[in-house]
Structure 1
Amino acid sequence: MPLPDRDIAWPPTDPTVQTALADWDAWYSSDPDRLGDRYLNRGIRELPENRPSQYRGGVIGSIARWFWGQPTEDGQKREKLHIPLAGDIARTSSMLLFSEPPTLSGSNDATKKRLEKLSEQLHPTLLEGGEVCAALGGAYLRLVWDEEISDRPWLTAVPADQAVPDFAHGRLRAATFWRVVEVDGNTVWRHLERHERGRILHALYVGTPGMLGRRAALQDHPSTEPIAQEITQEDWIETGAPKHLTASYAPNVRPARAWRNIPAAAYWGQSDFQGIEPIMDALDETWSSWMRDIINGKGRIVVPNSMLDSLGPGQGAAWNEERRVYSGLNMLQRPGDPNPLEVVQFEIRVQQHMDTCSALVAEAARQAGYSASTFGEHGEGQAVTATEIKARERRSLITRARKALYWQPAIADALAAQLAVEAGPLFGVRGLDVEPPEVEFQDSISEGLGELATTAELLERARAASRETLVRLVNPGKGDTWVKAEVARIAEESAMADPALTGGEGFPAPGGAPEGE
């Protein structure tokens, strides 16, 4: 959609999508107050908090039967506790993808050098983007620049609920990012930023919480006034890269089952939380029940009146637990009479609650596409090999590989746009290749030195790899210069140790004699 020229509902997203995004955002926030507000007052905020509709059927009644949809009775203390499983799932997804920065490859020396530096700068942005992508179903990489901050542009991560995409055949054609710059009572100021190929459009609107409102001049608000000075013609800024879109979109996974038949959202991604909200709700209910058992299980003592000290007429009585001698009733105790002291201790159902919580976490993880062991449900701390970890984490690694398929082109397109803008008239950097670089994800599970050494030894015995390949295998984090120097040192040491039995690169020569003799 182009920048609006009239008052429209904002954001202009299908209500089904808006509801789901708001739900996922509440779970992702890990804030019990936001969860309670979301499920108690969804769509009916004008009604009293404790309302009869919450005890009926239908959509409202269904939400009310959720743990977080049940109102707290007047005068009662809220005892609902929350386990931030949603945040743990989103963070785990990001760490599986970007625990190590991806390797970026260019076609010439200038591009390689620039991409090497960009890889370090981009790493925290990718960690952030991977987390919100898992939570909200997608994330954008947006190119920005500000000469007062940096002499080069940089990429930022934008959550899916702060953008309106424009897709064509499943590919991002344009994207409108928006932010609220000021709220004054019922007046909301919004800044819209639309990225198209070769240009970025800006506009300022003054409206209400649900409506975009009228368009105002960029100079009318301090946050957008500097942008007005950069406008080259009409309401946009030329990027200097006419073939590149300065924004890219990475869906979490596709298709999004909940709205694949909604035309405006058919190419949006699916959140890891989709479909497991009731499981997370049940987990919070179980955890709260467990804590309630602990409160109810506090030991209490029931004492007879004869063991109480009067506090005076109308003041009641108290029991002094330090007192050693009491005067009892002048009568013999009969069979069946209660004991002078009675201890009340309710059972705390630890194992039952623990088993239920573990089962709920395991099921939520499975439905989200992860192995239960990824969240520590099947033991932690044992010394296991990388092969054993990969076997145990197979489901999580498959999900990681699937998500990487969506992130690779998004990162490549965003970096290509950045290189093109840097090589354009705005920055004038020479020698950069503006083609999308190759993006290779690092293995999130690293093998130990012993496993690498064993593999290298077997390859050397089989003569299936060169010495340089073996050095790279055992030292995966080292650069080309270090590897070549290490290969030369190994060859030199091998020749010095036994020159009669050493081949060209340290391999034993056939027949026990040096090669070439």
Structure 2
Amino acid sequence: MPLPEANSVWPPRRWAPELAEIAVDDAWYSGDPKRLAAVYQGQARRRDGRRRLWGRDRASTPDRRESRLHIPMPADVARRSAGLLMGEPPRVTVQNSALQARLDELLGPRAERTLLEAAEVSAALGGVYLVAAWDAEIGPRPLLTTVHHDAALPEARYGHLVALTCWEELERRGSTVLRRLERHERGRIEHALYEGTADNIGRQVPLTEHPTTAAVVDSLGPSGAIETGIPALTAAYWPNIGPNRSHRGSPLGRSDLQGPARDMCDALDEVWSSWMRDIRLARARLIVPAGYLRNRGPGHGASFDDDQEIWSTLDIPPTDTGAGITMSQFAIRVAEHKASSDALVRQIVEAAGYSPSTFGLDGGPPVTATETLARGHDSMVTRRAKISYASPAVADIVEAMLQLDRALGWSRLTPERPVVAFGAAVAPDAQTQAQTLSLLGQAQAVSTETKVRMVNPEWDADAVAAEVARIRVETGQAVPDPVPDFVS
């Protein structure tokens, strides 16, 4: 899709269903009750015919206090998904040691934070785009940035991203909307500025009309675009997981809450709203006769002082039991609400592909890493699936960054395609690992080198060899053969 024609519908109608669903995911992820109500306005009923909590119209009763309560379960699912995937930053390696040193410099703590945030957004919205950028004022190196799922339109062929159009709303003046568009193709990046309306791209205006786009004017080549000088695309798509069940055949990934999980989140909010309503109604209230009220004077009404300790004698018949002070206090259905809430949370977690133990729903904490992995089997399966989607995207963008680093003159090293390895989700238990190595050693099933690699998977070949040599010296295995070779 090239840059849009003037006065065309924006976003394009082709992507309207996917973008509408991403808007729903975004509302749940944000946790903002106003955004949830706006998204579901006019959708008071679910597919099963039941009323939807966040679709009920409250505009007709403006004086009514908002009693609906949102539980941030969608955001919690996205956060835990990112933690499960990125508990340890992925290790990105190349063969050339000098290039590896430069790569470690490019992928420092800032890039690690970017990937962690990208993992959370991808889980919440269904995907995220990784984009390579550069700014000489920031420093002589390519930068890793992200574009969220609802701010870009991809072009894919045979499952591979071939172009990407990103957009950003810069200004909104009345009905006029100013948008910046950025299109990534192989070898070039186009920039454009459009002045239109909320649903129309409008006309293209000079880049100098806004400071954000004016900054790139000096970087444009003869073709009117920025020539990157590299064969790779300066963008990569990181889908959360596939397939997209709501839009089969779509190149976009699906969020962790796609499908009935959203309705279950709505039901969870309804349970908690009911629970809080019970608490409000259960506040102790005193019902007193009108004679107990103190007149505050004309126009000021009357009040009852519940702290007053001494009361004047009133002419009340002793048999009139209904004329005294009566306390009203309703019961709070704690057990019923908690059981309903726990059941819904479990269903939401399982629908998202995770084990209940990942969310602390299966009793006490496990003692060993082996028990953790056993309880979290579904979470580990989902994690492995997500890694298969994340690894190619990270490798693509890092390779593009290395190519840009050389093309822009900041490095003379020959770029390589990196290998991306995600760390373990659960740190291995030292006692269990020691027992495993001991049993393997007794069975003479592994070498000393293999044992060292199992204990230190992040070590390179030189470090492993040095450790093996030290072990052999300490255990006496390095002693030379006392029997000289037979010389014939």
TM-score, normalised by the number of residues in structure 1? 0.85
The CA deviation string for residues 289-335 of structure 1, in whole angstroms up to 9 with x for no partner, is 1111111111123334565555568854634543245425464427x
The CA deviation string for residues 2-23 of structure 1, in whole angstroms up to 9 with x for no partner, is 1123221112243221211111
The CA deviation string for residues 74-127 of structure 1, in whole angstroms up to 9 with x for no partner, is 321111111111111111111111111112221222222233334434321111
Give the whole-Å Cα distance in 1 for the aligned partners of 2:420 and 2:311: 82
- Tell me if 1:8 matches 2:3: no
Q: Give the counterpart of 2:95 among 96, 107, 119.
A: 107
Q: Give the counterpart of 1:433 among 415, 418, 421.
A: 415
Secondary structure at the counterpart of residue 211 of structure 2: coil
Q: Judging changes above 3 Å, is the alpha-carbon distance between structure 1 residues 480 and 296 closer, same or farther for their aligned structure 2 residues? A: farther
Give the whole-Å Cα distance in 2 for the aligned partners of 1:304 and 1:333: 15
Q: Give the counterpart of 1:91 among 67, 79, 86.
A: 79
Alignment-derived partner of residue 177 in structure 1: 166
Q: Give the counterpart of 1:445 among 415, 426, 447.
A: 426
Q: In 2, are the aligned partners of 1:307 and 1:326 still within 8 Å (CA)?
A: no
Q: In 1, are the aligned partners of 2:194 and 2:204 still within 8 Å (CA)?
A: yes
Alignment-derived partner of residue 144 in structure 1: 133
Give the whole-Å Cα distance in 2 for the aligned partners of 1:297 and 1:197: 65
Q: CA deviation at 1:71?
A: 1.9
Q: In 1, are the aligned partners of 2:189 and 2:227 still within 8 Å (CA)?
A: yes
Alignment-derived partner of residue 256 in structure 2: 272
Q: CA RMSD in A?
A: 2.6
Moved more, 178-187 or 23-32: 178-187
Q: Judging changes above 3 Å, is the alpha-carbon distance between structure 1 residues 324 and 16 closer, same or farther for their aligned structure 2 residues? A: same
Give the whole-Å Cα distance in 2 for the aligned partners of 1:76 and 1:461: 74
Q: In 1, are the aligned partners of 2:46 and 2:52 still within 8 Å (CA)?
A: no
Q: Judging changes above 3 Å, is the alpha-carbon distance between structure 1 residues 120 and 491 closer, same or farther for their aligned structure 2 residues? A: farther
The CA deviation string for residues 343-369 of structure 1, in whole angstroms up to 9 with x for no partner, is 222010111111111111111111111
Q: In 2, are the aligned partners of 1:164 and 1:177 still within 8 Å (CA)?
A: yes
For structure 2, which runs of at least 5 residues remain unmatched after alignment?
Answer: 484-488
How many aligned positions are there? 477
- TM alignment of 1:418-497, pairs within 5 A: 418-424=401-407, 426-427=408-409, 429-434=411-416, 436-476=417-457, 483-494=464-475
The CA deviation string for residues 260-285 of structure 1, in whole angstroms up to 9 with x for no partner, is 15xxxx11111112111111111111
Code of the residue aligned with 1:449 in structure 2: it is: A
Q: In 1, are the aligned partners of 2:40 and 2:55 still within 8 Å (CA)?
A: yes
For structure 1, which runs of at least 5 residues remain unmatched after alignment?
Answer: 43-53, 495-501, 506-513
- TM alignment of 1:4-153, pairs within 5 A: 4-12=4-12, 13-40=14-41, 65-72=51-58, 73-121=61-109, 122-153=111-142
Q: In 1, are the aligned partners of 2:125 and 2:254 still within 8 Å (CA)?
A: yes
Give the whole-Å Cα distance in 1 for the aligned partners of 2:409 and 2:246: 44
Q: CA deviation at 1:516?
A: 5.5
Q: CA deviation at 1:212?
A: 0.8
Code of the residue aligned with 2:478 in structure 1: it is: G
Q: Judging changes above 3 Å, is the alpha-carbon distance between structure 1 residues 482 and 107 closer, same or farther for their aligned structure 2 residues? A: closer
- Tell me if 1:352 matches 2:336: yes
Secondary structure at the counterpart of residue 131 of structure 2: strand
Alignment-derived partner of residue 486 in structure 2: none
Q: CA deviation at 1:431?
A: 2.5
Alignment-derived partner of residue 393 in structure 1: 376
Q: In 1, are the aligned partners of 2:122 and 2:240 still within 8 Å (CA)?
A: yes
Q: In 1, are the aligned partners of 2:106 and 2:141 still within 8 Å (CA)?
A: no
Secondary structure at the counterpart of residue 201 of structure 2: coil
- TM alignment of 1:210-225, pairs within 5 A: 210-225=199-214
Give the whole-Å Cα distance in 2 for the aligned partners of 1:194 and 1:29: 28
Moved more, 197-206 or 313-322: 313-322
Q: Judging changes above 3 Å, is the alpha-carbon distance between structure 1 residues 192 and 325 closer, same or farther for their aligned structure 2 residues? A: closer
